[in-house]
Each structure stands twice: as C-alpha cells, then as structure tokens.
Structure 1
Amino acid sequence: MKVRSTALAASALVLCLAAAGCGPDDGEAKGAARKSDASAAPGEESRPPAATASPAPAVTSDGRTLTEAQLAGVALTTGEVTGFDIAPLPGSDERGTEKSEDEACRPITAVINGSPEPAPAATVFRAATDTREEGRDDQTVVTEILTSHRAGGAEELMRSLREAVRACAGGFRTTGEDGPSTYTDVKALAAPGAGQESLAYQVTGSLEGAPVPLVFHLVRTGSTVVTFYAADFLTGKTPEVPAALVTRQAAKLP
C-alpha cells in the first residue's frame, strides 16, 4: 500500500475500508467518480478475463477448521519474508458497515468491510511492512486477513467473489454509516499461483475525489483463506502485493 507512514499505514487502510469506505461522496464536489487510467469500459477487449481459480494439484490439506490461536500460529512472522516486518494490524477491531445496493456485489463489499462471507469461524489480521523502504512516502504496507471456515465455507467465499468480480465489472454503490459511496470499476487481475485455489482483483474507489485502486489477492488451502490487500493513495496506480508474501504464507497453511 502506498501511504506516508509505516505503523499507521495498515491501520489507515483498514479504517478507510472498514470504517469509512473508499468510495467518493455523492455531493456535487465529488459526485463524478473517476476511473483509474488502467481500467477499461465493460465489454472492451482490453479488460482482463474474469477472475478464475488457479488450482495447484500438488498442494494438499488436512481440511481442519483452525481456531484463532491456530490461525495466529500459521500467520507470517518477521524474518520469514526478506525485508518485511510482520505485526498484528492496529485497529483491526474496526469493521465496516458498508452495504452494497446490488446484492451481486455483496461479496466484494464484505471483503472491503474486513468481514469476508460466509462468516468465518476465526479471523486474524496482520500487517506486512517493507522495512527496506523505511522513510519513503510510498513505503509498501500490505494488510493480511486470515480466516478459517466451516465445511464448504472457504470454497463458497472464493466462488462468490469470482462471480461478483464478473457481475460488478461496471462498479457498484454502497451505503453505510458515513453515507453512500461509489466504486467505479472492478476488474480481474492475474491470480497468484499459490495454495489450492487463488484469485486476484482490483476495485477502484476514491478518496477526496482522487481515484484509489484497491488490490485484493486471495489464496485458499483447505478450510483457510488468506486475503491480502493494498492501496495506492498517492499516485492512483495499481499497487502490487509482493508475490513472496503470498507464496510464503500459502506454504504455511495446513
């Protein structure tokens, strides 16, 4: 994520997503939501294909539904990925109240709120900060949500998100405690090749009238799903979730 601080960076994103949303206000000053330059109109050939699962047949799982303590035990820790400090996410008790006006987009909104659906049996939040970029305005901070699910819940989470990415390509509106928000674009990205199943997508929101691309990478192994997300508040360019974080975390899932 591209912001101006380190420890506060991850909490800024989770609060932006969960507490206030990143959609623009609907007042006249901010009424026209702006697409990022990388997005294409729905139906254009330049739009990436719909998000699809990326199966990894060699990966196996014992299928356990992990407790919160067990999730914490498999979460990444500092030193496991070169250059990244891993810590509990400040402010992760703050969950969003956004509700999609289009039921088809509800799965995407749930992830934005920090509460993926179906409701998990346990959840753990982490923030990964690139210490090699200490002091830079564009220091990379990636938020990680580990969720464990009861029978079939993890597969349902992934399936519903793939369908929502297709259905909501043209954007969607939400309502919440802070009023309405508009997300102008949803598009599939190349899925990370990790876990038993994976997908990635971008949602374009806005902050004070400027476009904010939000990138989500998800991997599933057995009954556990890990969601990584990042945002660029400075340039509006699509942020990157470092592949090393995704692959190393996926390798730890039982």
Structure 2
Amino acid sequence: MKVRTTVVAAGTLVLCLAAAGCGPDGGGEGAGEKATASRAPASGSGTGSGATATPGAGSPPVPTPTSHGRTLTEAELEKVALATDEVPGYAIAPLEGTGERGTEEPEDEACRPITAIINGSPEPAPAAIVFRTATDTAEEGEDDRTVVTEILTSHPGGGAGELLRAVRDAVRDCAGGFRTTSEDGPTTYTGVRALPTAGAGQESFAYQVTGSLAGAEVPLVFHLVRTGSTVVTFYAADFLTARTPEVPAALLTAQAAKLP
C-alpha cells in the first residue's frame, strides 16, 4: 500500500491522543491502522475578516470584533452540522465515543487553550457541543481513507471570539513546544506554529501541534472557523509521515456556509 499524507479521526477524536494512548508518546498500536489519506488541499491564506496567518510567524492580527449572534442549542447545532451529500464525495456521520474526553493537563498554563482542544473540550466551555466525522467515499475499503473530525460548539456572550483569541495567544506563547500529564502519563509536544487558513466564516485560524509517536514526529492540525457564537474545529493528524496534513477546503467552506 502506498503511504500518503494522512488525515485521521484518531479513534474517538483526539481522545485517542489523550485518553486511549495511541497518539504522541502513547505508543498505541491502533494509530497506524486508523491513518487515512488526504487528497484535497486546503486553499489560500488569510481569515474571513481579512487577517492572515503566516506559518511560523506566531499570532496573526486579531480581527475586528463582530456581533456575537444567537447561542445555538444542541438541537440547532445538529441541524447546521454538515450532512452526507452536502459535500460531494464525503459521507458525514456522528462521531462515536465522545462521552469520555481526554484528560491532559499542561505544565504551562499558557498552553491550556491548545490542550483543551486536544482533549476534545474547547474552552471556554460551550453551551452545546456536537461531533461529526467526514469520510472520503472514494476510498471505501482502503486502510488510509480520508477521515476528518469536526467539533461544533456554541458559546454565550463573547465566548466564541474568546476561544479563538485564547488559541492564537497559546500558539504564540507555546511555539517552542510544551508538556502535558494525564492519567495515561506524560506527553511531549515539540512545537506549535500558525498555518494559513481557508478564509471561511467571519473569523478563522489554523495551527499545527507536533507530537511524537515511538520517536517519530506526529503533526496534528486544527482549523477553527467562527461565525457569530458558533465555532467549528476541524481536526487532522498524520501518523504515517511527518508532513503537515491538510483539511479539504470544501469541508471548511461548506460547513461555514451553513452557520447562521
């Protein structure tokens, strides 16, 4: 089988990293079996509000604040989440196993916003949360299928904007890497850097966190898209190579278009 750039749902979201022990420093055997190939590149750079993110350049300019909008309920998040046939070539389904979240705690509090997302629990705590996976139907039966994970969260007041601001600051402050501890032991992330975004929604930000698996680099990529009080976090990882995985731009733009 040809090994290609991979995008993974990592078992049960990033819980595979933090709870099941198959991510950085966890050494679990399931990681390679769940690796999936990404053929569609993310597009362009910049955010929906005009701010840009340059890889390695730290935090981009903070966009001008916009209306918070109405805080969606869980039922409303379910309705605006992507569904099968809305993005050609991708099957959308609820993510299994989200009742148990990761337990990683950062040694440096400045890195907590990043760790919270790795745990599958973005901060500030949302009023409602919904999980989805998007799977490339053209790769049916392949071991390295494209599987992208989404977390949709709604935040009262200015919580959605606060989430993105906190993550931007953490990416800047934790660029040299950080360590965490959990019930499964310590984890080391060797570096953090901003990435170009697809410019979806009212505001967007992307970054890479690099961990390790059996001594090999494991790049984890996160794209955050905000519209009003809703934030969608897309997750991708590469357990087979050290190359930065890419979240298909079609998923980002299609999901952003459904947000009220």
- Indicate conservation of the 8 Å contact 1:51/1:191, yes or no: no
User: Structure 1 stretches of 5 or more lacking a match?
Assistant: 27-45
Task: Specify which of 224, 241, 253 is matched with residue 247 of structure 1.
Answer: 253
- Is 159-168 or 229-238 further displaced after alignment? 229-238
Distance 1:118 1:55 in 2: 19
Task: Specify which of 209, 213, 218 is matched with residue 215 of structure 2.
Answer: 209
Q: What is the aligned partner in structure 1 of residue 150 from structure 2?
A: 144
Give the letter aligned to residue 2 of structure 1.
T
Secondary structure of 1:139 counterpart:
coil
Q: What per-residue deviation string (whole Å, max 9, x for no partner) do you get for residues 196-246 of structure 1?
A: 110000001122322211000000000000000011111221111000100
Q: What is the aligned partner in structure 2 of residue 126 from structure 1?
A: 132
Shift of 1:49: 1.6
Q: What is the aligned partner in structure 2 of residue 16 from structure 1?
A: 16
Q: What is the aligned partner in structure 1 of residue 50 from structure 2?
A: none
Number of positions where the alignment pairs a residue of Structure 1 with one of Structure 2? 229
Give the letter aligned to residue 16 of structure 2.
C
Report matched runs for 1:214-229 at 5 Å: 214-229=220-235
The alpha-carbon distance between structure 1 residues 53 and 191, as it changes in their structure 2 partners (threshold 3 A), is: farther
The alpha-carbon distance between structure 1 residues 203 and 230, as it changes in their structure 2 partners (threshold 3 A), is: same
- Is 130-139 or 78-87 further displaced after alignment? 130-139
Q: What is the aligned partner in structure 1 of residue 185 from structure 2?
A: 179
The alpha-carbon distance between structure 1 residues 143 and 168, as it changes in their structure 2 partners (threshold 3 A), is: same
Distance 1:165 1:240 in 2: 18
1:103 is the counterpart of 2:109: yes
Q: What is the aligned partner in structure 1 of residue 120 from structure 2?
A: 114
Distance 2:20 2:176 in 1: 22
Q: What is the aligned partner in structure 2 of residue 32 from structure 1?
A: none
Shift of 1:24: 1.8
The alpha-carbon distance between structure 1 residues 13 and 123, as it changes in their structure 2 partners (threshold 3 A), is: closer
Distance 1:89 1:25 in 2: 22
Q: What is the aligned partner in structure 1 of residue 92 from structure 2?
A: 86
The alpha-carbon distance between structure 1 residues 212 and 242, as it changes in their structure 2 partners (threshold 3 A), is: same
Secondary structure of 2:146 counterpart:
strand
1:49 is the counterpart of 2:57: yes
Secondary structure of 1:233 counterpart:
coil
Give the letter aligned to residue 17 of structure 1.
L
The alpha-carbon distance between structure 1 residues 177 and 237, as it changes in their structure 2 partners (threshold 3 A), is: same
Q: What is the aligned partner in structure 2 of residue 35 from structure 1?
A: none
Q: What is the aligned partner in structure 1 of residue 41 from structure 2?
A: none
- Indicate conservation of the 8 Å contact 2:202/2:227, yes or no: yes
Secondary structure of 2:222 counterpart:
strand
Give the letter aligned to residue 218 of structure 1.
L
TM-score by length of 2: 0.81
Distance 1:189 1:63 in 2: 27
Sequence identity (%): 73
Secondary structure of 1:11 counterpart:
coil
1:238 is the counterpart of 2:244: yes
Secondary structure of 2:168 counterpart:
helix
Shift of 1:12: 4.9
Secondary structure of 1:118 counterpart:
coil
- Indicate conservation of the 8 Å contact 1:78/1:87, yes or no: yes
- Indicate conservation of the 8 Å contact 1:55/1:198, yes or no: no
Q: What per-residue deviation string (whole Å, max 9, x for no partner) do you get for residues 142-163 of structure 1?
A: 0000000010100100000000
Give the letter aligned to residue 254 of structure 2.
R
Please, what is the CA RMSD of the aligned residues?
A: 2.4
Shift of 1:54: 8.2
Q: What is the aligned partner in structure 1 of residue 32 from structure 2?
A: none
Q: What per-residue deviation string (whole Å, max 9, x for no partner) do you get for residues 26-64 of structure 1?
A: 9xxxxxxxxxxxxxxxxxxx963224368699xx87701
TM-score by length of 1: 0.83
